[in-house]
Amino acid sequence: MTIKQLPQDLVNRIAAGEVVERPANVVKELVENALDAGARRIEVTSEGGGRELLRVTDDGRGIPREELLLALSPHATSKIASLEDLESVATMGFRGEALASIASVSMLRLRSRVPGSEEAWMVRADGGPPGAVEPAAGPPGTSVEIRSLFFNTPARRKFLKTDPTEQARISEVVQTIAMANPACAFTLTLGTRRTLELPAVDDPRRRLVALLGAELADELIEVDFEGAGATIWGLAGTPEIARPTAKRQRIFLNGRPIQDKAIQHALREAYRGLVVPGRHPTVVLFIELDPRLVDVNVHPTKTEVRFRDSGAIHQAVRHALRAALKGRDLVPTLELETGSAASATTAAPSSTAGDRPSPSAMPPGLAPGPVRDFGPTDRARPVEYQRLAEDLARPVAPADALVPGIRRDHRILQVHAKYLLVEDPDGVLVVDQHALHERVLFEELVERIRSAPLERQALLMPDVIEVDEAAIEALELLAELVGRIGFDARPIGPRSISISGVPSFLLSRNVEPGPFLAELLGFGVEQGRADDPEALLSEVLDMMACKAAVKAGDRLGDAELANLLARREAVERSSNCPHGRPTSLRIPLAELDRRFGRSS
């Protein structure tokens, strides 16, 4: 076949296939152009899911009459003039293809008036080359009107979703951009209904709260961090407002909304153990970075970027979020609703984790009052639990030392050999003994494995376990991790594994090493996490802590209870077990007073 130069209108339509996938993409491109033009007010109107009408009007600098036709030409832009400009892009749009691409698949009207000019000018383009520039009426700024989107590419039009779905995507785009531009006012009209009206504000937090929901204001923790050459600011939601989807997660780089796998992974790692699997935390982060350290010209829609040092950005985001969460008391508050079951929500308690002294400075012991068990009295302590009881009974401080916030005369009540009740400065704390002990053991295991593999106990006679072929493959794949946690194991046949060394931690808590290793290998195969060894290590340590922790139904003595609560104060993230479930709930004193009809 003969090689031919493609016609310009066909080139524009091919470009439109990359830039203009649906109406929301059109809105994104036009709103970003308005912001680059210095707009302080942007109005967006959509009808018919964006198929029939899209209009974006701004009060920006406008386009001079002599540049209107050029604005609809391919790769024409005022934002890039040299290779150096491309390597340090600081504007939202810069490729110069959006307007030309949109004009090739719609009926476009571009009207603009430069401030100080006496009249506006307009140019039309109906799926092809633009017509002549005509005089028009209009205020200073620019208005771009798009009608009959994809009228000349019916196959593309058939792929659009229903009107409500496309309208929802348009709304999401406008809200996302509005988050990063609080100094600009936004209005959005969908059909005949104005669905969004945001005045310009000086405080970025006010804009974020207005979009995320005023009812969440007390659950949003401010993030403020500098590191790895980046400045990171934003809001991180408490675990209690995590959602089934990630729609409340937004990441901005130099004001541009982006999607980046390294940052998303850092976000998940920061919330690991605070949010139950399947739920996603609310996070809005703004990252400011030297434009020369990131390539934003990776994808036509400019949502994907490439960092020069993605590892450093990953670490900075993770540290920023962890520092913010560490400074907040994340213990949920139990609110007793009249006429309904109790529900747990997070309130803003008067004391926070940031008010507590550091573990090295706090007295970690506790001298408890008498312990009362409200559960059955005929349950005998199993023999295999003895070593765990000894671990909890091991003193961590002088007997007369106090846990911060808990006085010497406070009583600890063990309820049904499952929950602990203890007074704290804000009311009554209800503690799940298994969940708390699991968190304590998990954090101690993490701390120990940072410096060296876990201690190993050699067996006089190897233990042989039978597994399936997938577990044998998993053992070979996860050999390094298995060794780090204290196992010495190797395959000795197509379905057999010989264990000659086991973690001392498991032995000390009477956990059977063979079944544990078999479960571990089965988990590794099922989850397919070999590509993320650190995340898999965290989950394996969680498995070890869960197996070894005190169980519901195990009664604890005075010293054991005191020790467990003391260790709660000394570990990070004691509000949640490694699975993300709460370890504690707080019943505020004010709530008790209200329920009992007391005024004080």
Which of 46-50, 239-243, 448-452, 469-473 has the highest mean predicted lDDT (pLDDT)? 46-50
Say which residue, 199 or 5, is predicted with more confidence.
199
Residue 250 tokens read as: 């937004």
Q: 2.60.40.10, 3.40.50.300, 3.30.565.10, 3.40.50.2000: which CATH number matches 8-198?
A: 3.30.565.10
User: What residue ranges do the domains of the chain occupy?
Assistant: 8-198, 204-326, 333-439+555-595, 453-548
Measured between its terminal Cα atoms, the distance across the chain in Å is 90
Architecture (CATH level 2) of domain 333-439+555-595 = 2-Layer Sandwich (3.30)
Over pLDDT 70: what percentage of the chain? 78
For residue 84, what pLDDT is reported? 55
Quickly tell me which residue has 């970025």 as its tokens: 204
Compute the distance between CA of residue 347 and CA of residue 314 in angstroms, rounded to an integer: 30
Dump pLDDT digits (tens) for 401-423. Answer: 434 444 444 578 999 999 999 98
Report CA 515 to chain centroid distance, whole Å: 34
Backbone φ and ψ of 242, nearest 5°: -60, 150
Listed as own residue / partner, the contacts of 198-207 with beta carbons closer than 8 Å and 24 or more positions apart are 200/40, 200/41, 204/233, 204/286, 205/235, 206/182, 207/178, 207/179, 207/182
Range list of β-strands (E), 392-478? 413-415, 419-424, 427-432, 456-466
Mean pLDDT of 274-286: 92
Helix (H) or strand (E) run with residue 234 in it: strand 230-237
Residue 76 has pLDDT above 90, yes or no: no
* Helices marked H in 272-335: 310-326
Residue 334 has pLDDT above 90, yes or no: no
**How distant, in Å, are the alpha carbons of 177, 196, 217, 265, 270 from that of 253?**
12, 24, 24, 16, 19
For residue 366, what pLDDT is reported? 32
Determine whether 562 is exposed, middle or buried from the number of CB atoms within 10 Å of its CB (0-12, 13-18, 19+).
buried
This model's pTM is above 0.85: no
pLDDT-derived band at 570, boundaries 50, 70, 90: confident
Backbone φ and ψ of 583, nearest 5°: -90, -20
For residue 405, what pLDDT is reported? 47
Q: Which of 204-213, 340-349, 360-369 has the lowest mean pLDDT?
A: 360-369
Which of 128-137, 342-351, 522-531 has the highest mean predicted lDDT (pLDDT)? 128-137
Nearest to 441, CA basis, from 573, 546, 324: 546
pLDDT-derived band at 490, boundaries 50, 70, 90: very high
Over pLDDT 90: what percentage of the chain? 53
**Are 204-326 and 333-439+555-595 the same fold in CATH?**
no
Quickly tell me which residue has 């810069």 as its tokens: 94
CATH code for 204-326?
3.30.230.10
Dump pLDDT digits (tens) for 109-159. Answer: 999 999 999 999 999 999 888 999 999 999 999 999 999 999 988 888 888
Q: Which of 58-72, 297-311, 444-458, 564-578 has the lowest mean pLDDT?
A: 297-311
Mean pLDDT of 266-279: 90
The answer for residues whose C-beta is within 8 angstroms of residue 579's C-beta and 6 or more apart is: 273, 276, 277, 542, 546
Do residues 417 and 437 make contact, with C-beta atoms less than 8 angstroms apart? no
Which CATH class name applies to 453-548?
A: alpha beta
Do residues 255 and 203 make contact, with C-beta atoms less than 8 angstroms apart? no
Instruction: State the average pLDDT for the chain.
Output: 82
For residue 368, what pLDDT is reported? 37
Do residues 112 and 85 make contact, with C-beta atoms less than 8 angstroms apart? no
Mean pLDDT of 33-49: 95
In this structure, how many other beta carbons lie within 10 angstroms of the beta carbon of residue 397?
A: 18
pLDDT-derived band at 572, boundaries 50, 70, 90: confident
Dump pLDDT digits (tens) for 213-271. Answer: 999 999 999 999 998 889 999 999 999 999 999 989 999 999 999 989 899 999 999 99
